């Protein structure tokens, strides 16, 4: 019998667990972790049982799938023998002043096999782990285990997924759910609707523009049905019904669609974006010497904003120069819009798409995205991780800012690895998304608008520090170019930047449309 110390690390916590391998005759047991990182059945050797501390544990054993909901701090353990459930045990862990944990076994509803479990979660020191190991050994001795045991310490491997995987030509990101059991429960999301009615109204404003009809039908969803969906959802949010009642109405009157995600299984990577606030000036000074630019006159785009390229003196249109070519030339001279005090701050505004600039007199000037040079976005953060400049466990804008403050001579080398260059315009009022409507913190999401429906009502199912719930698809982004990616707008300023920089989590993305017969 082998014992595995499973170390699962994410951005918010370190989970340590000691799990006992089940002496199963057939198959391997695996658990789906609460943060959506998955260990698939068969990923470990037969007889291995992996355990996670989570409010929900989805278990997949052999040919039979079974999910068990247990409270946080509880650990559900089971094994499989020849295709049938062989045993089931539930343990509670209780803090103790005199010892890290004491174990109490709950009333067993099934006969137990010869297995025990000690599992605990937190960033524990080595001595605590050793104490835990000793406790497990003592428990096994008392249980009369006669087998020779061995201990293997292993790190949980991060599963690599291609979140940027492109769909086949002509395929859309959403798939209609036909099994009612696969439709999520919206009750909890209806308990927090702050800002939702306002966000819906902004989507309705966009859908009232004649230009919005060019992007419908979306699959079998007509423009009329899309507008009706938003109107009915606005009424529902303002109805005064309880969250339970609204959940019932939503499930009865609306069809639910799920994103196919990056793997055709619904996996979507959620990240965050925000509107930074930086000091700047409308004129160049010794302090402020790094410009944001207006769109140049030779940048050509079609009516829906698609970049066509650079119009030359001969009237022909060719690809616009890349970032490094722009930086090493003087082709944008005269198009300087506003000046900032740090070259990486300029790049942050390029990536986030908007900013508020604090002028020397204290006034705030808002700038927003206008266009780009037509090149595909390349992630500077991923290149820094590949070069060992950042840790994969420390992926955030703040980490990048701190690094470049310590290594200012490397800014140009890295930002020029992203050939996309962004141009800006003045904005009045709140930051606006790609639909030219104001974006709403935690209610606006950005997706790839070539495969997702513009302005539509969505349900974000992801475990973030700040729950999202319902949102409106009102924006896009340079890095958001696949079914497996979604950006959540988190507001203005440093705190929003901290939240956005710390958001990197898998989840599912759903959309709701009024049923045609309703």
pLDDT at 151: 29
Element housing 81 (H / E): strand 74-81
Q: How confident is the model at residue 371 (pLDDT cuts 50, 70, 90)?
A: very high
Last residue of a domain, one of 427, 445, 477: 427
CATH number of the domain bearing residue 507: 2.40.40.10
**Does a structural domain hold residue 163?**
no
More confident residue, 284 or 68: 284
pLDDT at 459: 98
d(CA 380, CA 413): 10
**Per residue in 140-160, pLDDT tens?**
545 444 433 232 333 334 446
Tell me the three state secondary structure of residue 491. Answer: strand
What's the domain count of the chain?
3
CB 163 within 8 A of CB 504: no
Q: How confident is the model at residue 68 (pLDDT cuts 50, 70, 90)?
A: very low
- Same domain? For 314 and 417 the reply is yes
Q: How confident is the model at residue 123 (pLDDT cuts 50, 70, 90)?
A: very low
**Does a structural domain hold residue 167?**
no
Rounded-to-10 torsion of CA 239, 244, 250, 255: 170
What average pLDDT does this structure show over 508-517? 95
Does 80 score more than 50 pLDDT? no
Q: Nearest 5°: CA angle at 350, between 348 and 353?
A: 100
d(CA 262, CA 163): 5
Q: Count Cβ atoms below 10 Å from residue 168 Cβ, excluding itself.
A: 5
Range from 122-131, 164-173, 227-236, 503-512 carrying the lowest mean pLDDT? 122-131
Q: At residue 205, what are phi and psi to the nearest 5 degrees?
A: -60, -45
What average pLDDT does this structure show over 390-406? 84
Does 83 score more than 70 pLDDT? no
**Does a structural domain hold residue 396?**
yes
Q: Count Cβ atoms below 10 Å from residue 243 Cβ, excluding itself.
A: 16
d(CA 206, CA 417): 35
Residues 6+ apart with CB under 8 A from 53: 15, 17, 34, 72, 73, 75, 119, 120, 121
Pairing of strands 457-462, 469-475: antiparallel
pLDDT at 95: 33
Tell me the three state secondary structure of residue 413. Answer: helix
**Per residue in 458-491, pLDDT tens?**
999 999 888 899 999 999 987 788 999 999 999 9
**Percent with pLDDT over 90 in the chain:** 59
- Same domain? For 307 and 368 the reply is yes
Does 251 score more than 80 pLDDT? yes
- Same domain? For 422 and 440 the reply is no
Last residue of a domain, one of 372, 407, 427: 427
Range of the domain at 358: 280-427
- Same domain? For 415 and 442 the reply is no
**Does a structural domain hold residue 336?**
yes
- Same domain? For 247 and 261 the reply is yes
pLDDT at 303: 80
- Same domain? For 38 and 139 the reply is yes
Closest CA to 269 of 497, 491, 494, 479: 479
**Does a structural domain hold residue 263?**
yes
pLDDT at 210: 95
Residues 6+ apart with CB under 8 A from 515: 253, 254, 255
What average pLDDT does this structure show over 337-347? 96
More confident residue, 130 or 99: 130
Task: Give the bridge partners for 271, in sequence order.
Answer: 487, 504
- Same domain? For 343 and 286 the reply is yes
- Same domain? For 89 and 201 the reply is no
Residues 6+ apart with CB under 8 A from 183: 177, 251, 256
Residue recorded with tokens 């420390």: 394
Does 181 score more than 90 pLDDT? yes
pLDDT at 412: 94
d(CA 493, CA 503): 16
Residues 6+ apart with CB under 8 A from 160: none
- Same domain? For 20 and 150 the reply is yes
Write down the H helix ranges in 429-491.
none
More confident residue, 337 or 58: 337
Last residue of a domain, one of 427, 453, 488: 427
Does 326 score more than 90 pLDDT? yes
pLDDT at 140: 53
d(CA 504, CA 155): 20
**Per residue in 158-169, pLDDT tens?**
446 889 899 999
CATH number of the domain bearing residue 367: 2.40.240.50
Six token digits for residue 24: 């199963």
Q: How confident is the model at residue 131 (pLDDT cuts 50, 70, 90)?
A: low
Average pLDDT, the chain: 76
pLDDT at 397: 82
**Per residue in 258-308, pLDDT tens?**
999 999 999 999 999 999 999 999 999 999 999 999 999 999 998 877 899
Does 207 score more than 60 pLDDT? yes
Q: Given strand 29-32, what is the order of strands in its sheet?
A: 29-32, 56-61, 64-69
Q: Which residues of 260-284 are buried (b: 16+ CB within 10 A; e: fewer)?
A: bbbeeebbbbbbbbbbbbbebbeee
Closest CA to 1 of 168, 150, 220: 150
**Does a structural domain hold residue 168?**
no
Q: At what angle do helices 343-352 and 397-406 cross, to 10 degrees?
A: 160
pLDDT at 36: 33
CB 32 within 8 A of CB 58: yes
d(CA 374, CA 301): 9
- Same domain? For 468 and 420 the reply is no
pLDDT at 478: 77
Tell me the three state secondary structure of residue 387. Answer: coil
Q: How confident is the model at residue 342 (pLDDT cuts 50, 70, 90)?
A: very high
Does 386 score more than 70 pLDDT? yes
**Does a structural domain hold residue 198?**
yes
Task: Give the bridge partners for 82, in sequence order.
Answer: none
More confident residue, 127 or 493: 493
d(CA 350, CA 66): 46
pLDDT at 465: 83
Does 59 score more than 70 pLDDT? no
pLDDT at 149: 29
Q: Nearest 5°: CA angle at 308, between 303 and 309?
A: 135
- Same domain? For 26 and 147 the reply is yes
- Same domain? For 186 and 150 the reply is no
E strands along 179-324, which residues? Answer: 254-259, 268-275, 277-281, 290-293, 299-301, 307-311, 317-318
**Does a structural domain hold residue 165?**
no
CB 329 within 8 A of CB 321: yes
Residues 6+ apart with CB under 8 A from 50: 4, 6, 17, 19, 29, 30, 31, 39, 44
Residue recorded with tokens 């230009």: 211
């Amino acid at each position: 019998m082998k014992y595995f110390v499973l170390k699962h690390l994410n951005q918010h916590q370190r989970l340590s667990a000691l799990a006992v391998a089940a002496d199963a005759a057939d198959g391997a047991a695996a658990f789906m972790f609460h943060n959506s990182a998955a260990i698939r059945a068969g990923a470990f050797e037969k007889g291995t049982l992996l355990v996670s501390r989570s409010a929900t544990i989805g278990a997949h054993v052999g040919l039979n799938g079974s999910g068990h909901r247990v409270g946080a701090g509880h650990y559900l353990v089971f094994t499989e023998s020849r295709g049938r459930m062989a045993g089931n045990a539930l343990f509670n862990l209780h803090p103790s002043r005199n010892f890290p944990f004491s174990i109490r076994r709950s009333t067993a509803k099934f006969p137990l096999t010869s297995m025990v479990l000690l599992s605990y979660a937190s960033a524990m020191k080595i001595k605590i782990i050793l104490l835990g190991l000793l406790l497990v050994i003592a428990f096994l001795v008392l249980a009369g285990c006669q087998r020779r045991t061995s201990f293997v310490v292993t790190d949980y491997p991060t599963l690599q997924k291609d979140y940027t995987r492109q769909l086949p030509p002509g395929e859309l990101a959403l798939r209609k759910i036909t099994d009612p059991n696969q439709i999520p429960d919206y009750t909890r999301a209806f308990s927090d609707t702050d800002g939702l009615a306002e966000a819906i109204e902004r989507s309705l404003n966009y859908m009232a523009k004649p230009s919005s009809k060019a992007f419908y039908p979306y699959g079998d969803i007509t423009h009329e049905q899309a507008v009706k969906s938003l109107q009915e959802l606005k009424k529902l949010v303002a109805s005064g019904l309880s969250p339970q009642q609204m959940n019932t109405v939503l499930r009865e009157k609306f069809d639910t669609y799920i994103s196919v995600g990056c793997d055709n299984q619904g996996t979507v990577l959620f990240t965050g974006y925000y509107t930074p606030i930086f000091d700047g000036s409308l004129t160049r000074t010794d302090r402020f010497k790094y410009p944001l630019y207006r769109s140049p006159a030779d940048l050509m785009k079609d009516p829906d904003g698609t970049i066509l390229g650079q119009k030359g003196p001969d009237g022909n249109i060719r690809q616009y120069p890349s970032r490094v070519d722009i930086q090493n030339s003087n082709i944008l001279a005269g198009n300087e819009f506003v000046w900032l005090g740090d070259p990486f701050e300029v790049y942050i505004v390029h990536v986030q798409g908007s900013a508020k600039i604090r002028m020397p007199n204290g006034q705030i000037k808002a700038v927003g995205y206008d266009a780009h040079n037509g090149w595909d976005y390349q992630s500077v953060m991923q290149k820094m991780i590949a070069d060992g400049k950042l840790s994969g466990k420390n992926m955030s804008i703040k980490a990048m800012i701190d690094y470049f403050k310590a290594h200012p001579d490397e800014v140009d080398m890295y930002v020029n690895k992203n050939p996309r260059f962004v141009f800006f315009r003045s904005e009045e009022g709140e930051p606006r998304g790609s639909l030219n409507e104001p974006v709403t913190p935690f209610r606006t999401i950005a997706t790839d608008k070539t495969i997702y429906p513009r302005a539509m009502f969505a349900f974000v199912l992801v475990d973030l520090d700040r729950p999202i719930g319902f949102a409106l698809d009102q924006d896009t982004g340079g890095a958001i170019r696949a079914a497996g990616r979604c950006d959540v707008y988190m507001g203005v300023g440093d705190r929003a930047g901290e939240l956005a920089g710390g958001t990197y989590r898998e989840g599912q993305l759903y959309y709701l449309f009024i049923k045609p017969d309703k």
